[in-house]
Every structure is written in C-alpha cells, then in structure tokens.
Structure 1
Amino acid sequence: MGTKDIEIVKNSGLNAEELIAKLNSAFADEWLAYYQYWVGAKVAEGLMRPDVQKELEEHAAEELDHAGRVADRIISLGGTPILEPKEWYEKTKAGYLVPSNPDTTVLLDQNIKGERAAISVYKELFDMTKSKDIITAHMARHIMEEEIEHEQDLEDLVKDISYAKKK
C-alpha cells in the first residue's frame, strides 16, 4: 500500500472506505464481464460467428486487464480486492447476463447492455475522484474510454449482422 497515496486521498476529503467499496464493485463487474465475454465466445452460433467470437475474446482480455488495474488501485489505497468469487454477484452493479441463448445477435445485445452499465460505473468513479484523487480518476477515465470503444465495436457488429440478414 502507498502511504503517501493513502494520505493524499484521505486529505482530499474522499471517504477512502467508500471509494474502495466502489472500486470493489467495479472489480466484481470486470470479472463477471470477463467471464460473460469469454464463455459467450465459446458458445456463439449464427451469423458472423467467427467475427463475433474474435471480438468477444478480445473484449474478454481487456476486461481481465481492467480487473487487474482496479485490483492494483484497491491495494494501493490500502484495501483488499474481493477474494471470494461468490461475492462478485453481491457487489456487482453491471450484473451478469447468462449467455444461455448462443445466437450472435443476442450475445452482442447482452454485452452492449453490460458495456453501458460499465460506462456508467466508471463515469461515476471519475466524477467522484476527478478533483480529489487524480490517480483513480485517470484510471476510471481510461477504462471508461475503452468501455465506450467496446460498446461501439459491438454496435457495429450488430449493424453488420443486420445488413447480412437483408441479403
């Protein structure tokens, strides 16, 4: 844990415990998003399956990276990332949409919903920290930018599938 980092956050007026709790919620979201993308890529069926699988696998890797970044930030603030995976369901804001329907368009729509929830989570973290904890704010902004890119990537695939269905 970073002593000076913790001191800066505490002196900023931020409630460190509340911030760590919000970061742990984001951490849970990232792990669930990782799995939702990963397993969705495995079960995907339908139009443009190879393209959808590739995109879902790429996003899964990026969600795992986000989980690592958030965990590092939690630790640097003197907290502990969620240690029990069963707690992810209790702490998540974005939730987990079971990819029980393997249709590529259904999977994409589920993941678009997840990205939109993640964008909201990181916007909230950014707003909470932007003038008080620039380290967390920078991390939240960076991850939010990537989540926005993910949403666009998935929306583009939905459009491509829609055009393919018309042919």
Structure 2
Amino acid sequence: MTPEELRAVQTPFKERYRSDPASALATLSATGTLDVARLQCVVDGAGGGRVIAGVHPRAGGDGAGKCAGDMLLEALVGCAGVTLAAVSTAMNLGVTAGRLSAEGDLDFRGTLGVSRDAPIGFTAIRVSFELETDAGEAQLQKLGELTERYCVVAQSLNAPVSISIRRVGPPGQVGNG
C-alpha cells in the first residue's frame, strides 16, 4: 500500500471522528468456554478462529493449550506489527519485509501463590523488529517511537487499565438459561 492509498482509506474515518468524537468509541469483546476438567478455556476468536488456552507447563499444565501469557505477547506482536506497517507506510520508508518478536519476564512463583513478594504477571516486556528498508537510523528510531505510541496493546499494557472480573447471572446457570 502506498502512503496515498493509506491516507485515502483512513481520511474519511479521521474526519468523521474529528467531527463526531462519539463515533470513534467502540467496545471490542472476546468470549470463551471453560473446560474445567482439562484446566482450559476455549477462546472464540474474531473471524471464527478458536484457541485453546491452558496452563503453562511451568505452572503444571500439560502444554496442550496455549498459555495466556504467550497469547498476550502474540497479541502485542500482532498489534505492533500492524501499527509498524501502517506507520512505515505513512512515513514512506519503503519497508519491503520485516519480523517482530516479543519476550516477557515472568516469575511463576507469583501466579502459583508460592511467594506473596513475587509479582503476578510480566515485569518487563521487550518488542524488537528487524526490517528490510533503506530508511536511515533516525527514521527507524522515529518509526519505533510512533509504533509504540500508537500500538493499542502496548499502550493498554503501559497505562493503568481498569479491569474487573465478576460473576454475572444466577448461580448454576450458563448462557441464556
């Protein structure tokens, strides 16, 4: 996609969101079905895909399901990759190919309740990218900064996000009754 094609696609959205900020608000969702016997949750993905989430082998899982921590890193790579592609296109950097990776530091003592002093969740996450491009170092630095700035998943992890986990519906019922 060329920078002009990207602008042509995005300009109507930007104009609408500027004139009607409420039209930019959206609620995304995901659903899953528990398999308690296997310690798994079948997550219904967007577009009809399904992913089986399970306990990580370092926390007692059998490896049959994907660890949600791995899925979080995958979501980050996907979001950063799409953002990087759009930003590099807008900057006209001539990126022809690339690869992203994410790695995160996790102390399993926290999630297993072994130590109250051990954090639960990632303590650091690093995303890196390699690109085939003739862009200069300053342009690539700016590309990294803008990708981090506009990546929804990265910003959601960097900023305090309100999360609540609660039961809905009467006990003993699943779904609509």
Which is richer in strand? 2
RCO (CA 8 Å, sep 6+): is it higher in 1 or 2?
A: 1
Which is richer in helix? 1
Same fold at TM > 0.5: no
TM-score, length basis structure 1: 0.32
